[in-house]
Amino acid sequence: MAKLENCELWFCKLNPKRPSTQFNKQNPTWECQIRTYSKEVKKQWEELGLNVKTTDPDDGPLYYRVNLRKRSLKADGSPSTPVEVVDGRMRPVDPNSIGHGSIGHVRIFQREYTKDNGKPGISSTLMGIQLIKHIVYTYDKKSYEDSFEDSGDTEVISPPEEEEEEEGEESSTPEVKDKPERVF
């Protein structure tokens, strides 16, 4: 296993009971983006075979990022162990509480494999995070103040049932020929 130290953490979706279905609905994943501003760290990540992307935002410094995932189901269909999240003293931390910009050590499992084109590749799986600077995520309570209240039964209006046409009768709906294509 490899350990990546002092990673800035973003977009952590690590809830053991609710892995993300954004990329795969049949096999949801726990995921996290790690970032660094250091070219030396970027080089270390590339030497480990991680897919490092460079991002130049309009309102901040250039940074390097890697997206790490762990599938919730193993190849045989059995459940995977969720990503472990602990603090500096190895005490469990609520994975839903990790806010953007938290700093942590990230443990990954790597294995070699052969790609479809016959070339070798390295697969990296997110295994655990040890938080050393925990920015606690809090949701905006104001956005929930205007929540819905019980307003009684909902009126449901179904479309009228169409009568079946008997043979020989003409339809009152004109047939459309050369229907134009929809362009979106």
Q: How many residues does the chain have?
A: 184
- For residue 44, the domain's CATH number is 2.40.50.140
Structural domain contains residue 125? yes
Structural domain contains residue 166? no
CA atoms within 13 A on the CB side of 57: 7
Structural domain contains residue 175? no
Structural domain contains residue 142? no
Count of domains observed in the chain: 1
The pLDDT tens digits of the residues spanning 29-67 come to 999 999 999 999 999 999 999 999 999 888 889 999 999
Structural domain contains residue 117? yes
Structural domain contains residue 139? no
Q: Is the model's pTM score more than 0.85?
A: no
Structural domain contains residue 115? yes
* Residue 117's pLDDT band (cuts 50, 70, 90): confident
* H helix runs in the chain, sequence order: 39-47, 142-145
Structural domain contains residue 55? yes
Between 136 and 143, the more confident residue is: 136
Q: Which domain holds residue 20?
A: 2-133
Contacts of 128 (CB under 8 A, 6+ apart): 83, 84, 85, 86, 106, 107
What is the SS3 assignment for 142? helix
